[in-house]
Amino acid sequence: MISEVNLVDGSEGWWVDTGASCQVYYDRAMFKSYSNVGDKMVLLDDTHSTIVAGSGKVELNLTHRKTVILKDVLHTPETRKNLVSSYLLNKAGFTQTIGANLFTSKPGNEHWRALERVMHYLKRTMNLGLHYGKFPAVLEGYSDANWNTLFDDSKATSGYIFSIAGGGISWKSKKQTILA
């Protein structure tokens, strides 16, 4: 899902896409490093494809003066929005929240338009969601860790998920420094 609720860095900034598996950026000047990729295409979530001119690193400015360097960002000059993958941000240790209280404190026309888009999305996707089987209602838990022995950043990633009847109810992933 992409919406203005998920906007980062103002209207010309990044849009957080919960379904993206890669980042795309349209402005070549914003790349910190860049290499041409030739004649490649990428399929976007609205079922059309666009040309990839190159790839490289881009610096993303987050709230609270945090920044993250995005690697393998695809340069797609034909797109109108910069998309960042929610999954890849979470993997890098960042989380996203929706600041709905900002909308209720001083709502304006932009907030109503965003609310209308969210409501239209919810109406179109009423058949989607977490589906729990009737029986057996068994609580299952899984965990995993990656001690990252291939890289020099001395970081490990660990995570868990709990589910009931096949539907996830709680999950977490965390990247932390390895101590000897």
Q: How far is CA 92 from CA 18, 86, 96, 164, in A?
A: 15, 10, 12, 27
Same domain, 77 and 104: no
pLDDT value for 118 = 84
Same domain, 82 and 14: yes
Same domain, 85 and 104: no
Same domain, 21 and 78: yes
- Min mean pLDDT across 46-60, 66-80, 87-101, 149-163 is at 87-101
CATH of the domain at 53: 2.40.70.10
pLDDT value for 175 = 83
pLDDT value for 5 = 39
Q: How far is CA 127 from CA 24, 123, 124, 130, in A?
A: 29, 9, 8, 10
Helix extents (H) in the chain: 86-91, 100-105, 109-124
For residue 81, give its domain range: 4-91
Q: What is the pLDDT of residues 6-37, one digit of tens each?
A: 445 554 567 777 767 788 888 888 899 999 98
* Burial class (CB within 10 angstroms; exposed 0-12, middle 13-18, buried 19+) of 72: exposed
User: Is there a domain that residue 134 lies in?
Assistant: no
Count other C-beta atoms under 10 Å from residue 167's C-beta: 11
pLDDT value for 35 = 93
